[in-house]
Structures are given as structure tokens and as C-alpha cells.
């Protein structure tokens, strides 16, 4: 979008009035000042775009207004800004607020909603920080309260015909600074002026200016004025740590002629030591003519002033001449710079050349190129005698182009800048080691980049607003051991996709993740690097595949198949590195056919159910000889079974809960039946009744 300068404005002081007039060549000749002054004296400039949307900027290129213009004035809907923060939105007519509009504080909370007439609130409601209605105004009349951008009360009083009329009070930093009478929006009539809670003037005001009355300091009268004339000594307002005391002649309520300004070191103490801040000539309340500026009782400027702005003079650093020449907006424009020995070290013409800037204490803060009165080109910035930046500048707005940042003389960043922030490609350093290289946007890591720790790559991927967003990364513990490598997704370590886990710098898992958990295909390893599981994972648990388990002694205790995160299928169990079971598992337990071993000797083979023997099975002794064959239930012999000794049948019959109960036969070593009958066995403490059939006779025995 193309922009072009439409018009510039200049404020001209004529007595007590200010006029706004358009720039033209004739006016320049009449005033005898250069065209560049117009921008600085007007304090604003205006640009249009193709869509008839107008933007107003201040001298520092900060947006003041955006909206519709017609006939060189605000007309239609528009927005006003303060330091980039919206403060008003509404309708304008002939440059003034007219119609519906809303005012906001710095947190975008409404402080007034309603109708305006010629910039004055006419009908509407005022709100506090909590959104509560605190006043209403009708047809320009009512009791109102005014707040600044930060929501602090600055005025409360009477409003008539849209302007402050009647009694009112003004506030600053929650302290009253004036109470008295107003007329047409200005102090008129009786009033009292305060500073930090102390009375500094009591008398009459005329058109906003002290006119008749007495000034006070430490509760004592220090001056008196009549009809706006007198030699005065009064306090101006700064912050609570720095107040200004003025001393000079008052004409028509304004400082005129020679005047001095003092700075008080001790807040809340008017009797503190005064430090001279300025001495020179005033006209209509502003510095105009010859004057000197001081800091900490040392002169830093002397020369010509025009409407509070230094236009020609000398600049001193720690008592020595550092620059002499022409200034625009208090910035060197034409002149020469000197070193400690009075030698010329640079020269600037029409705002172009090399220059040095110092702070009020005389410390070097900039050494580099100037163009059109602004830092533009190559230069260096300093703080506390240490370099903090070297590189390219543009239009005084900050670092712009390629450059390097330093902290405590150590390089912390090198790369591209825009408007004072890292923007584009760059590298970050810490303790002289590279910690990041990649792209930046508005001062934050944004785009593709790589992150390092102790010269090891720990992340590679995309960043968004300073955060890891999507990419691969590595993680280390306090001992500098690698513990994980995986991916970022959406700014979180969700570990989606492929990844690796480590323990004591040894790989323990590699595979797929989802939502931060093992999910998908993967492999687990023991400390020896041997695969202990390979298969599918689901929600962090083994799901399908083959795997191994070890105890705390790193001894193998299990190997086999997993289904749905549980041991299922063919399995082997180990104890002391020896097989104790091999067979089928279901839902994490022995279930189906299997074999039990003791010291590598088979002791049982048969069926299992829910982890215990159940179904048909065989038992063996330590010699591998069969000792039982039959049915099991709940881990015990139950049902039809046979007992053996030395591989010979010695009993066959019915078992209940591991005991002989019911019909049965006993055999001798030759395989001959020595008993046939029924068995009834009871547990210890119960009555045992045994029925024995011998040669067709039944005997009843009580045991």
C-alpha cells in the first residue's frame, strides 16, 4: 500500500493563542526557519492511503489517529490512540468529537459511553474500573468524574453546557493538586494549588492562569502576584522523586524574561537542596532565547531555544565541550564533535554524518552514523561503559538490519533485527556457546530453528512466539545423560510420532508415541542392549508382541507374547535364570496347556485356568518319574486320577480337593489289585469314616 505526505502543521504562538496553519514557502521565509522544523514544531504529521483512511502520527512516529478525513479535518468514524493504546472510538465532525463515542482506559475498559458535542461529553454515562456507573450527564450538565488512561481519577466536579463550570477538584497520583472554581473548562475564580499535599498557591485564577494571590513554601508566603504580574517562585509538577521550582517574572500569568528552574532532590521535602536545572529567557511561558541546561549542577547545554526546543548551541560532557552546532528537535543537525583534547572527531551536516550521543551523566550511549537527524547506518550502543549492540540502525527507531547484542561484554545474539527486535535469521549464545540458531519474529523465536545445550543439538524444528512448536528434540538429565529424544507437536512434548528413551546413556526404548505415551510399534531394551520386548503398545502399555521381563537383579523372569497389554499366548517363566513354566497365558495368567519345572526338571504338565492347575494334568518327581495323572480343580487333584510309584500304578480312583474320596483301587508292585472300594477322607480335625469292601463284606471304620 502506498502512502504519501499530504500536509504538515505548525503551531505559531501569538500572545496567548495558538493557530494551526498549513506549510507553504512564503511562511518559511517569513519565519526564517527551515522546512524540517515544521514537522517537529507541529508535533504531528498526517498521511493518507488509497482508501481515504487517514493516519496521524506524532514526531516519534507513534499512531495518534486512524479514521476518515474530509477537508483536511477528521470527519466520520475514527479512533484516537495513546502510546499505541486505543483511548477513543467514535464519530468526528470538522475535527471534533460529535455524535456517539466511547472512551477507554489502558486495559480497554470503557470509562465513558455516550454522545459528544464539539469535543464535550453531552449525554452519557461514566464507568469505574469495575464497570459500575459512577455518573451520568444530560445535555452537557451533571456531576462528572474524569479518569486517565490508567483508570486513575484526575478530576471531579460540575459540568454545564458540556464544559467544566463551577466547583471542582483535580488529582495527580491520587493526591489533590487543585480545588476551586472553573469557567468554560479552565480555572477561573478562587482556587488553591497543591503539591504533594502542601499548599503552594492560594488566590484567583484567570483563564487557567494564576492572577491574584500568594505563593507558599513551607507554609510561608514567598511571593505575591497582582493582575498576573509579579516576581514569583513556585513549584511545577514532576514525579514524586523530582519536583521543579520556577523563579522569574510573571506577565499576563506566564513566565516572561529571565527565569531559573530548580530541581529538588528530596521528595516530600520542599526545603531540600536545590539543583539548578535551567536558566535563561522565557516568552509566554516557554523557553525562548538564550539559555543553559544543567544536570547535577553541571552545565550540559547552552544556546538558543525556540518554544522549549534547543535550536543552536553547545553540548558538554563532564564539563568539556562535546558538540557545537545547530539542533532540530534537540538533536544535532549541523556542527562538529570534539574529543577530550578539543580535537574535531566528527562533523554532521543536515542531520547526516557520524555522531556520538551521551546520557545526562556524560556516559557514551551511541557512536555511529546519522541520516536525517536519526540513527541510521552502522553504529554502536553502550550502557555503563559497556557495549550492548553493534550493527545497523534505521530512522532512529532502533536496531534494524544486521547486528550483534552483548551482555557484560559477552556476545548473546548475532543476526537480523527490525525496529529494535530480533527479526529474521539469527544466533543466540550463552557463556560463549551457541544455544540457538534459526528464525525470529518480533523479538521471539519463530519459524525453523535449532537449539543446543553444551554444543549438543537438543531440538530441531519449528518455533512459534518463542516456544518450541513442532519438531524433534533431545532431553538430558542433570548428569548430562541423554534420557529422551522425540518430537514436539503443537508446542507441547506430546511425544507424537517416533521417539527414543534412554537410561544411563543407554537406549531403553525406541518406537512410536501418541499423546505423550508409548503407542504403536516399539522395542524395549535391557542394559545390555538386548531386546526385551518388540511389538505394539497402546496408551503406554505393551499391547501386542513378544517381550521379556527382568527383576531388580537383572535376571530374566518372563518372556513371551502380549495381547491387549497383557501376557497372552505362549509364555516362559524363569526363576534364578531357570525355566519354571512354559505354556499358555491368558489375560496375564497361566491359562491353557503348560508345563512346570523345578531345577530344570519337569514336575507338572497339563491344563491351567486363571493361573492355577485345572483340567487334565500329570505330576512328576525329581527323577522325572510320573507320580500322578488325572484331573485338577482349583489347583488340587479333583476328579478321576491315578497315582504312581517307580513308574508303576499304585492307585486309581476319585479325588476331591486333593484327597481320595469315592471309588478307588490300590495295586501292589506286581500290578495286582490289593484293594477295591470306596474312600472317604476328611481334613485334620474332622471325623474320617472309611468303608472298605473285602470279599463282599463291607467294613465301617472310624478313624
pLDDT of residue 2: 30
If you average pLDDT over residues 618-638, what whole number do you get? 93
pLDDT bracket for residue 266 (50, 70, 90)? very low
Cα separation values, 629 from 26, 64, 259, 438, 592, Å = 126, 99, 122, 75, 17
pLDDT of residue 31: 40
Domain boundaries, the chain: 308-379, 551-624, 625-703
pLDDT of residue 267: 43
3-state secondary structure 632-662: EECCEEEEEEEEEECCEEEEEEEEECCEEEE
pLDDT bracket for residue 478 (50, 70, 90)? low
Q: Percentage of the chain with pLDDT > 70?
A: 84
pLDDT bracket for residue 253 (50, 70, 90)? confident
Task: Tell which wins on pLDDT, 518 or 380.
Answer: 380
If you average pLDDT over residues 180-184, what whole number do you get? 94
pLDDT bracket for residue 297 (50, 70, 90)? confident
pLDDT of residue 51: 64
pLDDT at 489 over 90: no
pLDDT of residue 595: 95
pLDDT bracket for residue 565 (50, 70, 90)? confident
Q: How far apart are CA 119 and CA 93, in angstroms?
A: 9
Task: Tell which wins on pLDDT, 338 or 49.
Answer: 338
This prediction's pTM: 0.55
pLDDT of residue 10: 35
pLDDT of residue 414: 96
pLDDT of residue 329: 76
| pLDDT, tens digit, 9 for 90 and up, residues 380-429 | 999 998 999 999 998 887 788 999 999 999 999 999 998 889 999 999 99
pLDDT at 696 over 70: no
pLDDT at 179 over 70: yes
Q: Hey, which residues does 379 pair with through a beta bridge?
A: 368, 391
If you average pLDDT over residues 565-581, what whole number do you get? 89
pLDDT at 104 over 80: yes
pLDDT of residue 14: 34
pLDDT bracket for residue 62 (50, 70, 90)? confident
| pLDDT, tens digit, 9 for 90 and up, residues 629-677 | 999 999 999 999 999 999 899 999 999 998 999 999 999 988 899 998 8
Tell the CATH topology of 551-624. 2.20.110
Contact by Cβ (8 Å): 246, 258:
no
pLDDT of residue 694: 46
pLDDT bracket for residue 171 (50, 70, 90)? very high
Q: Which residues contact residue 114 at a Cβ distance below 8 angstroms, ignoring those fewer than 6 apart?
A: 100, 101, 121, 122, 123, 124, 125, 137
Q: How far apart are CA 422 and CA 443, in angstroms?
A: 4
pLDDT of residue 186: 92
| pLDDT, tens digit, 9 for 90 and up, residues 151-167 | 788 999 999 988 999 99
If you average pLDDT over residues 494-504, what whole number do you get? 77
Task: Tell which wins on pLDDT, 484 or 570.
Answer: 570
| pLDDT, tens digit, 9 for 90 and up, residues 370-391 | 998 888 999 999 999 899 999 9
Which of 74-88, 508-522, 593-607 bottoms out in mean pLDDT, i.e. has the lowest? 508-522
pLDDT of residue 12: 36
Task: Tell which wins on pLDDT, 303 or 45.
Answer: 303
Does CATH place domain 625-703 in 2.20.110.10?
yes
- DSSP-assigned letters across all residues of 269-320: -TTSPEEEEEEEEEETTEEEEEEEEEETTEEEEEEEEETTEEEEEEEEETTE
pLDDT of residue 272: 52
pLDDT of residue 37: 45
- DSSP-assigned letters across all residues of 11-47: EEEETTEEEEEE--HHHHHHHT--HHHHHHHHSEEEE
The mean predicted confidence, pLDDT, of the chain is 83
pLDDT of residue 6: 32
| CA geometry: angle 570, 632, 564, nearest 5 deg | 30
If you average pLDDT over residues 139-148, what whole number do you get? 90
pLDDT bracket for residue 469 (50, 70, 90)? confident
Amino acid at each position: 500500500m502506498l502512502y504519501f505526505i499530504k500536509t504538515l502543521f505548525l503551531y505559531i504562538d501569538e500572545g496567548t493563542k495558538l493557530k494551526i496553519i498549513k506549510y507553504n514557502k512564503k511562511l518559511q521565509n517569513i519565519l526564517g526557519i527551515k522546512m524540517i522544523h515544521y514537522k517537529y514544531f507541529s508535533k504531528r504529521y498526517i498521511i493518507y492511503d488509497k482508501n481515504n483512511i487517514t493516519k496521524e502520527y506524532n514526531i516519534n512516529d507513534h499512531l495518534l489517529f486512524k479514521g476518515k478525513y474530509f477537508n483536511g479535518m477528521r470527519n466520520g468514524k475514527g479512533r484516537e490512540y495513546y502510546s499505541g493504546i486505543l483511548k477513543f472510538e467514535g464519530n468526528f465532525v470538522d475535527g471534533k468529537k460529535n455524535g456517539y463515542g466511547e472512551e477507554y482506559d489502558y486495559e480497554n475498559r470503557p470509562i465513558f459511553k455516550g454522545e459528544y458535542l464539539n469535543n464535550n461529553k453531552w449525554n452519557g454515562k461514566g464507568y469505574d474500573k469495575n464497570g459500575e456507573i459512577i455518573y451520568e450527564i444530560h445535555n452537557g450538565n451533571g456531576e462528572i468524574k474524569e479518569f486517565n488512561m490508567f483508570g486513575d481519577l484526575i478530576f471531579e466536579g460540575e459540568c454545564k453546557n458540556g464544559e467544566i463550570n463551577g466547583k471542582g477538584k483535580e488529582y495527580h497520583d491520587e493526591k489533590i493538586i487543585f480545588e476551586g472554581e472553573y469557567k468554560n473548562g479552565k480555572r477561573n475564580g478562587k482556587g488553591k494549588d497543591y503539591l504533594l499535599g502542601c499548599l503552594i498557591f492560594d488566590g484567583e485564577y484567570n483563564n487557567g492562569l494564576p492572577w491574584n494571590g500568594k505563593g507558599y513554601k513551607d507554609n510561608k508566603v514567598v511571593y505575591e502576584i497582582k493582575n498576573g504580574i509579579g516576581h514569583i517562585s513556585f513549584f511545577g509538577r514532576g514525579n514524586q522523586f523530582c519536583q521543579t521550582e520556577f523563579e522569574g517574572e510573571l506577565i499576563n500569568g506566564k513566565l516572561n524574561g529571565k527565569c531559573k528552574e530548580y530541581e529538588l532532590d528530596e521528595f516530600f521535602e520542599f526545603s531540600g537542596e536545590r539543583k539548578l536545572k535551567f536558566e535563561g529567557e522565557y516568552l509566554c511561558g516557554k523557553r525562548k532565547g538564550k539559555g543553559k541546561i544543567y544536570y547535577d549542577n553541571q552545565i550540559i547545554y547552552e544556546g538558543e531555544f525556540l518554544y522549549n526546543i534547543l535550536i543552536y548551541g553547545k553540548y558538554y560532557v563532564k564539563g568539556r565541550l562535546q558538540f557545537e552546532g545547530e539542533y532540530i528537535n534537540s538533536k544535532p543537525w549541523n556542527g562538529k564533535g570534539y574529543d577530550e583534547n578539543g580535537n574535531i572527531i566528527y562533523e554532521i551536516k543536515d542531520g547526516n554524518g557520524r555522531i556520538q550521543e551521551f546520557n545526562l551523566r556524560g556516559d557514551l550511549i551511541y557512536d555511529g552514523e546519522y541520516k536525517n537527524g536519526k540513527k541510521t547506518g552502522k553504529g554502536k550502543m553502550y550502557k555503563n561503559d559497556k557495549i550492548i549492540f553493534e550493527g545497523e540502525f534505521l530512522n532512529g527507531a532502533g536496531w534494524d538490519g544486521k547486528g550483534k547484542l552483548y551482555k557484560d561484554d559477552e556476545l548473546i545474539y548475532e543476526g537480523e533485527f527490525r525496529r529494535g527486535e530480533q527479526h529474521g535469521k539469527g544466533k543466540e549464545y550463552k557463556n560463549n556457546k551457541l544455544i540457538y540458531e534459526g528464525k525470529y519474529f518480533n523479538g521471539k523465536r519463530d519459524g525453523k530453528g535449532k537449539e543446543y545445550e553444551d554444543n549438543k543439538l537438543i531440538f530441531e524444528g519449528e518455533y512459534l512466539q518463542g516456544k518450541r512448536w513442532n519438531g524433534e528434540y533431545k532431553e538430558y538429565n542433570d548428569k548430562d545423560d541423554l534420557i529422551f529424544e522425540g518430537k514436539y507437536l503443537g508446542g507441547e512434548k506430546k511425544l507424537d510420532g517416533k521417539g527414543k528413551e534412554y537410561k544411563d546413556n543407554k537406549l531403553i526404548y525406541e518406537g512410536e508415541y501418541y499423546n505423550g505415551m508409548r503407542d504403536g510399534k516399539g522395542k524395549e531394551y535391557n542394559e545390555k542392549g538386548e531386546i526385551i520386548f518388540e511389538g505394539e503398545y497402546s496408551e503406554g502399555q505393551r499391547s501386542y508382541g513378544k517381550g521379556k521381563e527382568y527383576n531388580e537383579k537383572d535376571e530374566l523372569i518372563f518372556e513371551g507374547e502380549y495381547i491387549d497389554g497383557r501376557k497372552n499366548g505362549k509364555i516362559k517363566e524363569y526363576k534364578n535364570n531357570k525355566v519354571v513354566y512354559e505354556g499358555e497365558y491368558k489375560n496375564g495368567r497361566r491359562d491353557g496347556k503348560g508345563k512346570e519345572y523345578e531345577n530344570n526338571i519337569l514336575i507338572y504338565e497339563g491344563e491351567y485356568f486363571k493361573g492355577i492347575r485345572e483340567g487334565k494334568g500329570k505330576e512328576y518327581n525329581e527323577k522325572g518319574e510320573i507320580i500322578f495323572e488325572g484331573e485338577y480343580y482349583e489347583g488340587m487333584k479333583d476328579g478321576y486320577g491315578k497315582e504312581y510309584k517307580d513308574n508303576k500304578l499304585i492307585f486309581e480312583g476319585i479325588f476331591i480337593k486333593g484327597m481320595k474320596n469315592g471309588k478307588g483301587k490300590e495295586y501292589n508292585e506286581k500290578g495286582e489289585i490289593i484293594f477295591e472300594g470306596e474312600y472317604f477322607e476328611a481334613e485334620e480335625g474332622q471325623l474320617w469314616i472309611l468303608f472298605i469292601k473285602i470279599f463282599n463284606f463291607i467294613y465301617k471304620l472310624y478313624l
